[in-house]
């Protein structure tokens, strides 16, 4: 996993690098500016190479001039904090490299950082003028260095005017550290946001660049080393992470000398009458992830359907309340992990099943779908659970669990997931375009795999099956949660390459699981 830092930790790292390690602030600023200038240079060098392969009459690109007949034009719009100083330095470096540079700053406020004041004086020494009016003409590059990661209020006045005009321009749009107007911790748009094609951020990625809607404004995010690294955290530990493809290597390897018992037993309590599909998707996903045995605890009316859909599964069926408690107790003693909720309903029988599982199970529990709807009315059961619990709510289910509106949850996705995980001592997988996995100790992971084609019926059932399959094979619930969410998204991405996203169905995600794990194993095609 890669480390993310929120605005507070990033500011502290910057301060520690300067005050504890003695690296001058201007050195950090120069390195930041150099890395951004290099990326802009690299973009146009690549553009030149691409244009050499097409006829001269087709050489007009979006961000470059025809046949190099004029200089590349750059507009850098800078604020008065150190982010603005970065922008001024970028403008000067590009000027020195032969770019035609225009600099815009708002009318001077009461305060300006010392580093930015120094950069402004350097520009004047080079004869580069600074204007306060936005030019009407177009530029090949528009650099946003108005605000950095400290913004906490909605933008208005001259800043609203600047960003509106910057967004209307057609050149390559480059944000410095984070697009202005985007909250660094939540991804919230503070009234207006700069719509970047590229964001050059420094030292560590910020959560606001990954979370929506901020992710839609950031464009391609490039993390550059400027001399601030994990040493600058000193004694403080990071608590935010993002999953990466390498995290799939945590999945336990298969052994040559093994049998079905070697890979664990998944118990899936799912499926009321007419809801056999949820049980099928969850059970099959567990098998596809590598579980050795899957037992489905379901209503009797689902027996024939599930035997036809998933003959590999063992079935224990109930009919009404007859022998329900005895059958469930026996099943709990059999499994290594239990899924409770997909298609289970919220009637009296479902409530009894969820209560028995949460209060009696000694194996890890994954609560999903109707299991969450039941538990939302009995939250104290979570605090009474004797076994580790993973909850997997989508936004609507989280609204019932946290007693908050969906809009409030979307605005504070990380905060809501972390608070729930800590309060109820559970792993909380809050599903959204960027799924959050929050652990009871305060750590959280933002998932970046997956696509909008996965917003389809049955997708969540597949996720619960993946999680159960990983835990059955010996992964700790917390590790399985992070890895399973990434695998689920990767399966959707892999399958989208074949089917596209409009017509993607849960069964396609099932197919993608095998493809991703095959690639992990390095099995030749």
3-state secondary structure 104-123: ECCCCCCCCCHHHHHHHHHH
SS3 297: strand
Q: What angle do CA 509, 515, 517 make, to 5 degrees?
A: 105
Query: How far, in Å, CA of 124 to CA of 400, rounded?
Result: 58
Instruction: Give the number of other CB atoms < 10 A from CB of residue 405.
Output: 11
Residue 506 C-beta-side C-alpha neighbours within 13 Å: 20
> Is the Cβ–Cβ distance between 248 and 240 less than 8 Å?
no
Full pLDDT tens readout for the chain, 525 residues: 999 999 999 999 999 999 999 999 999 999 999 999 999 999 998 765 555 444 444 443 444 454 455 799 999 999 999 999 999 999 999 999 999 999 999 987 768 999 999 999 999 999 999 999 999 999 999 999 999 999 999 999 999 999 999 999 999 999 999 999 999 999 999 999 999 999 999 999 999 999 999 999 999 999 999 999 999 999 899 999 999 999 999 999 999 999 999 999 999 999 998 899 999 999 999 999 999 999 999 999 999 999 999 999 999 998 877 678 888 999 999 999 999 999 999 999 999 999 999 999 999 999 999 999 999 999 999 999 999 999 999 999 999 999 999 999 999 999 999 999 999 999 999 999 999 999 999 999 999 999 999 999 999 999 999 999 999 999 999 999 999 999 999 999 999 999 999 999 999 999 999 999 999 887 534
Query: How far, in Å, CA of 350 to CA of 369, rounded?
Result: 12
Domains plus CATH for the chain?
Answer: 2-242 (3.40.50.10260), 259-520 (3.40.1190.20)
Whole-number pLDDT of residue 174? 98
Query: How far, in Å, CA of 403 to CA of 389, rounded?
Result: 20
Whole-number pLDDT of residue 263? 97
> Is the Cβ–Cβ distance between 282 and 270 less than 8 Å?
yes
What burial letters (b/e) apply to 499-516, b meaning 16+ CB within 10 Å? eebeebbbbbbbebbeeb
Give backbone dihedrals phi and psi of 108, rounded to 5 degrees, phi first.
Answer: -60, 130
Whole-number pLDDT of residue 74? 98
Whole-number pLDDT of residue 185? 97
Query: How far, in Å, CA of 150 to CA of 486, rounded?
Result: 30
3-state secondary structure 483-496: HHHHHHHHHHHHHH
What burial letters (b/e) apply to 74-101, b meaning 16+ CB within 10 Å? bbbbbbbbbbbbbbbbbbbbbbeeebeb
Whole-number pLDDT of residue 422? 98
Whole-number pLDDT of residue 48? 57
> At what angle are helices 506-521 and 459-472 packed, to 10 degrees?
30
pTM for this model (two decimals): 0.92
């Amino acid at each position: 996993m890669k480390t993310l830092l929120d605005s507070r930790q990033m500011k502290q790292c910057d301060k520690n690098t300067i005050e504890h390690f003695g690296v001058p602030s201007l050195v950090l600023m120069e390195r930041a500016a150099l890395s951004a200038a290099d990326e802009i240079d690299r973009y146009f060098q690549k553009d030149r190479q691409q244009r050499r392969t097409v006829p001269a009459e087709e050489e007009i690109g979006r961000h470059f001039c025809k046949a190099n007949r004029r200089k590349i034009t750059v507009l850098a719009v800078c604020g008065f904090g150190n982010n603005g100083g970065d922008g001024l330095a970028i403008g000067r470096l590009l000027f020195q490299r032969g770019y035609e540079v225009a600099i815009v700053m708002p009318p001077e406020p009461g305060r300006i950082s010392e580093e930015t004041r120094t950069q402004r004086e350097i520009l004047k020494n080079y004869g580069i003028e600074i204007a306060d009016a936005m030019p009407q003409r177009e530029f090949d590059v528009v650099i946003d260095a108005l605000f950095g990661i400290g913004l906490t209020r909605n933008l208005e006045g001259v800043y609203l005017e600047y960003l509106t005009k910057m967004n209307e321009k057609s050149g390559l749009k480059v944000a410095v550290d984070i697009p202005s107007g985007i909250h660094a911790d939540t991804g919230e748009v503070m009234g207006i946001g700069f719509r970047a094609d590229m964001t050059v951020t420094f030292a560590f990625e910020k959560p606001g660049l990954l979370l929506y809607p901020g992710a839609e404004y950031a464009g391609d995010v490039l993390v550059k080393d400027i001399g601030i690294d994990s040493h600058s955290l000193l004694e403080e530990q990071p608590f935010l992470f993002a999953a990466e493809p390498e995290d799939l290597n945590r999945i336990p390897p298969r052994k040559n000398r093994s049998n079905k018992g070697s890979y664990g037993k998944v118990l899936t309590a799912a499926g009321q009458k007419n809801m056999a599909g949820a049980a099928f998707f969850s059970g099959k996903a567990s098998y596809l992830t590598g579980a050795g045995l899957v037992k489905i605890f379901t209503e009797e009316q689902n027996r024939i359907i599930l035997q036809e859909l998933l003959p590999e599964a063992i079935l224990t069926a109930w009919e009404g309340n007859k022998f329900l408690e005895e059958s469930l107790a026996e099943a709990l003693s059999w499994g290594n992990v239990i899924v409770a909720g997909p298609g289970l309903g919220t009637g009296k029988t479902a409530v009894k099943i969820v209560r028995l599982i949460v209060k009696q199970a000694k194996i890890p529990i994954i609560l999903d779908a109707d299991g969450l709807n039941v538990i939302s009315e009995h939250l104290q059961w979570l605090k009474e659970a004797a076994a580790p619990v993973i909850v997997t709510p989508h936004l609507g289910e989280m609204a019932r669990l946290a007693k908050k509106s969906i809009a409030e949850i979307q605005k504070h996705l990380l905060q809501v997931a972390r608070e729930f995980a800590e309060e109820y001592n559970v792993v909380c997988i809050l599903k959204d375009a960027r799924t959050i996995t929050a652990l009871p100790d305060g750590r959280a992971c933002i998932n970046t795999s997956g696509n909008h084609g996965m917003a389809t019926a049955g997708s969540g059932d597949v996720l619960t099956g993946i999680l159960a399959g990983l835990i059955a094979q010996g992964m700790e619930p917390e590790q399985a949660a992070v890895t399973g969410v990434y695998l689920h998204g990767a399966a959707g991405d892999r399958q989208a390459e074949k089917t596209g996203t409009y017509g993607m169905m849960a069964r396609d995600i099932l197919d993608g699981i095998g493809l991703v794990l095959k690639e992990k194993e390095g099995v030749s095609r």
